[in-house]
Structure 1
């Protein structure tokens, strides 16, 4: 090799690093993985209010040295002294690429040494690998919502939903991978809070995917780490099982069986249909949903008493157990005046009839749960205080008027646990016995950061405070749930209300982004209950496929309308019976049974298998 190439060999993995152009080739077993030719390691920086892209090679001082410890060996590179238009930037950092002695994993670390606040906006490193060989065995694996694979020959463009951020709809789990003729890799972000992935698939036989890192409170500030494992024989099932083992080693894999020891209502939740119903909707004029043409449509009310009678009727129709999720129970209804939602809606019957509803659920053996929200912070909330709102990097409080309650900002999560305790104690003191709670948006919207000097909060701090809210609710013997399946929250929840597939052009309806595969369930099936809409198309269900078949394939539960007819009830019972059987089992594997990908099969650890045929709306449940 020439003097500009450094070679490292460890654990059957070889790294060739060209120091002149920072090209990287990793050889593992029978496969060579090389940086995409279009890639140069780079940062996006902000200088004099202009955003610029600067390549690592533009550093005036660059050095490369070998690195060796008792854990492994690698290559350390140091970069400093950048100049843009004659201005010297006080930026210095190191990159470290090393192979560990234990697994032969390749670790990438970006290590900040000196930086100026607000200057580094994004770091894209390490780079994407060349990935353009066509064929059904060549695909990119992305945990976008429930999950998908993107074959290199997938004809459609695949776009981000949430800018590729980890812990968003783009990545319920902070990893991705690629497989070429059964040889592949998985990349797991070990510091995911301020990171994500760039994805470029234009439908032209090429897929570009690479991690990126964003600042925390204006600085890169801490080491950013991602680890790659290269495999000679694998598929997307294999990658899921590797990540599953990784989570177990971190102590974050907590099963429903373990959760049931802490709260016996978990067992009651298994096999229960999810009844999602509402009391009061009041849409204010500021909301984008306000109907100017038909003002009467902006208020819809159903009393607590009416819901009580509807649940009694469902019991008579054979629904032995259920999870009742109640929206719009607060004083001004759904998505209004959070966090000051008490007392309950007086027009609907107030505390008296809400208590009767909760008592009735208890007598029916139904789990009674309420919708709540401790992020959306409404300007007309009774105790609204701008000093408790999230302050953005520019020193401003963000404002939007999307939801029914109109103008709002975001509550700094450092205060959220106090409001949760305040409201739950008030409900308890007024005789409302909660068995379940849904804290809206916590497990799907991006982690917030707050620049307020008196309650500064990083995204990791935000995650910790959201966790604190879940843990308080759980400590009260109440089942915990939130919106979607971001995996940082799964150890602290019993139920998520959605974890279906990502659709294009929007989540509500359309075709799938890539080929849907149940990545989340392959990792976490026996850790969380996931309901499905039992209808064709709709939220997260690719048109024209049937959510009923997805519920069976995934061993989940179903949504049930509060005014369900016999046909809907019978369809739901089939799903719930299977959930009773497999909810506490690992999903061992998923496979496609034909080239159309419309015939699929899952296998669970008790030997149960489910086969579905989306073309003919058929299914088979059996035992191996």
Structure 2
């Protein structure tokens, strides 16, 4: 047996003890030793002869270790090759390295592909989980699943991560996670997150195991994969958020509303505005999965532009001084139909003239006029549909679905999306439509796409960059940009999202998404990004993405967000909205510095903002207070 190799950094505040025999490691800090789970073995899943084979790192017939030291740190490298399935050798060679930097004493894990065959690797799981068994209630795992949650080690329910824990999805709005035990903790930050995620196992009442997972990009590992761990004493989930916030700042990923308002003063009008989410035409095609065959009259619902204008004027008379109007279904065949070829606007509702009327009226009323738009769903009956512009899978075929109202669709390759965005927005300008806001649907929530088409081959990272390009063009026109949820790669380029929901145990199915929370909800997103984005909340109980029976009004206050307002709101709803909007005007540009549970109760919570504003809510008794710290 080979002796263990110990790696110690220059200041000796942190030590990694690495075992060459089984690739396990322990991390020693001044107050704690973090031990890797003993029965875990790092592995590669290989697709071979139509079967999945698991190859453990230790199965490599050639394993070579080498210590190294540079001007920035010291560590150990290991080269692995000559893997076999049965008697057949698999062409696979990669290097792993573990090193500690001299600057922050972070531990860096890097996976470096040397040689591989395209299309055979399914995933690589490394580094593995720590042994995390203590059941005290203050020991928990921190996951940025949707708004965020913590999973105590004594949590009674089994936990399954959303979207398989993929980064930049609802499984992880932010590409990090961490654990806290006896007030000592660590945060793992994926520095190459586009094709990564976490693997989490938490059986009912059992310990939580969490490990890093790397997926192929265009069929290959392809590039170096990096994740770093920062260990700290005296910490909780608040501190983990601030460590990540500092990291993002160093990457130029923090752009505040204050900074965005310099480029687009409409930001200042958006702050403190209720969001009115309304529609013109909802039409469902017979080919759609959601077509109502028992009640076909439900498949067409039309409201004219003129009628919406009258409703907006009534809101103004009721005392709604400013608002943000998000308008769905304005295109020629309504909501989720014919994208990206949606012009002219719905003729039955008033066409170009009607749409200009609502645009001009919003300007008169001091309301922001914004539209729903879509540049991912690509409808087969769109006027300029071209199969060659669709996302092609590795087998050179396209995926066709009929999940939404417009029926049969595939997906537009994001490499081409900016051209369609520019075409459509220029068309609106030529027809006299003055937009103040635009919502590019799903870009900030669905997984990043890949495309294998030889003319517009695209990795997930390139997809992210092209989605940003679409956002940036819209922003350059002084139009407020929004999309669906708070995925953090998009936040420097967005001003508003539709919602920041909780991760719930129920299936995420359309607009019926309320139930028990996964773990204990905590506002991880808000602790990192509150002053960077406007987030509206449904000011009612049982709203979309809310735990059953909990009030979105209280969540809006606790998170310092704004509220949704019905276009036919009554006086009571308007007055409740004014409470939320007044607070939002005060603290929208302020950082949330801390969130905490009061007196050990999960229903009593407090948030504190950088200007000293303190919000306390009680979800059990539906009460709140707003004061100064």
TM-score using structure 1 length:
0.99
Q: Counterpart of 2:579 in 1: which secondary structure?
A: helix
Residue 475, structure 1, aligned to residue 473, structure 2? no
Residue 38 (structure 1) shift: 2.6
Deviations 1:261-310 (A, max 9, x none): 00000000000000000110111112121111001111100111110000
How many angstroms apart in 2 are the aligned matches of 1:328 and 1:229?
A: 47
Shift, 1:85, TM fit? 1.5
Given that 1:532 and 1:551 are in contact with CA atoms closer than 8 Å, whether structure 2 keeps it comes out as: yes
Residues 387-536 of structure 1: pairs in structure 2 closer than 5 A: 387-507=388-508, 508-536=513-541
Alpha-carbon distance between aligned partners in 2 of 1:614 and 1:25, rounded to the nearest angstrom:
41
How far apart, CA to CA, are the structure 2 residues paired with 1:17 and 1:360?
68
Q: Is residue 598 of structure 2 the alignment partner of residue 593 of structure 1?
A: yes
Q: Deviations over 1:525-570 (max 9, x none)?
A: 0000001110101211111110000000000000000000000000
Check conservation: 2:2, 2:21, Cα contact below 8 A. no
1:473 to 1:328, Cα distance in 2 relative to 1, 3 A: same
Which 10-residue stretch deviates more, 200-209 or 170-179?
Answer: 200-209
Q: 2:233 maps to what in 1?
A: 232
Tell me the residue number matched to 2:134. 133
C-alpha distance in structure 1 between counterparts of 2:559 and 2:352, whole Å:
39
State the Cα distance separating 1:163 from its structure 2 match.
1.2
Q: State the distance in 1 between where 2:96 and 2:326 align.
A: 49
- Aligned residue number for residue 367 of structure 2: 366
The alpha-carbon deviation at position 204 of structure 1 amounts to 2.5
Q: Is it true that 1:317 corresponds to 2:332 in the alignment?
A: no
Q: How many residues matched?
A: 623
What does residue range 6-405 of structure 1 map to in structure 2 within 5 Å?
A: 6-10=5-9, 11=11, 12-405=13-406
Residue-by-residue CA offset, 1:478-527 (whole Å, 9 max, x unaligned): 00000000000000000011112111113411011110000001000000
* 2: CA distance, partners of 1:495 / 1:443: 11
Question: Partner residue of 1:548?
Answer: 553
How far is 1:48 from its partner?
Answer: 1.6
Aligned equivalents of 1:165 and 1:472: distance in 2? 28
**Is the 2:515–2:548 Cα contact (8 Å) retained in structure 1?**
yes
Cα displacement string for residues 230-273 of structure 1 (whole angstroms, at most 9, x for unaligned residues) = 01110000000000000101111000000000000000000000
Structure-1 separation of matches of 2:320 and 2:210: 47
CA contact (8 A) 1:534 1:558 kept: yes
How far apart, in 2, do the equivalents of 1:614 and 1:317 lie?
A: 30
CA distance in 2, matches of 1:290, 1:596: 45
Structure 1 residue aligned with 2:578: 573
User: Structure 1, residues 362-394: CA drift from partner, whole Å, max 9, x if none?
Assistant: 000000000000000010111000000000112
8 A contact 2:189–2:228 mirrored in 1: yes
Range with greater deviation from structure 2 (253-262 or 19-28): 19-28
1:505 alignment partner, SS class: coil
Structure 2 gaps of 5+ residues are none
Deviation string for 1:39-58 (max 9, x for gaps)?
Answer: 10001111122111110000
TM-score, normalised by the number of residues in structure 2: 0.98
Shift of 1:16: 0.9
| Partner SS state of residue 611, structure 1 | strand
C-alpha offsets along residues 401-458 of structure 1, whole Å, 9 cap, x if unaligned?
A: 1000011110000110000000001111001100000000000000000000111000
Q: Is the 8 A contact 1:133 1:205 kept in 2?
A: no
2:420 & 2:2 partners in 1: Cα distance?
A: 62
Alignment check: 8 A CA contact 1:40 1:127 kept: yes
Q: Secondary structure at the match of 1:574?
A: helix
* Superposed displacement of residue 3, structure 1: 4.4
Determine the C-alpha separation between the residues in 1 that align with 2:244 and 2:29.
19
Using the TM superposition, name which of 328-337 and 157-166 deviates more: 157-166
Q: Write the distance in 2 (CA, Å) between the matches of 1:3 and 1:528.
A: 53
Superposed CA RMSD = 0.8
Work out the CA distance in 2 between the residues paired with 1:210 and 1:348. 53
Cα distance in 2 for partners of 1:318, 1:541 equals: 28
Contact 1:152 1:203 in 2 (8 A): no
Secondary structure class of the residue paired with 1:246 = helix
Give the secondary-structure state (helix, strand or coil) at the position aligned to 1:157. Answer: coil
| SS of equivalent to 1:382 | coil
Deviation at 1:64, TM superposition (A): 1.0
Q: Is the 8 A contact 2:451 2:457 kept in 1?
A: yes
Unaligned 5+ runs, structure 1: none
Range with bigger deviation, 360-369 or 23-32: 23-32
For residue 543 of structure 2, the aligned residue among 538, 543, 553 is 538
Q: Counterpart of 2:616? A: 611
1:395, distance to aligned residue in structure 2 (A): 1.6
Structure 2 counterpart of 1:561: 566
Which shows bigger deviation, 22-31 or 99-108? 22-31
**How far, CA to CA, are the matches of 1:27 and 1:15 in structure 2?**
6
Structure 2 residue matching 1:401: 3-state secondary structure:
coil
- Structure 1 runs of 4+ with >4 Å offset: none
Instruction: Please say if residues 352 and 431 of structure 2, whose CA atoms lie closer than 8 Å, have aligned partners that are also in contact.
Output: yes
Farther-moved stretch of structure 1 (498-507 vs 178-187):
498-507
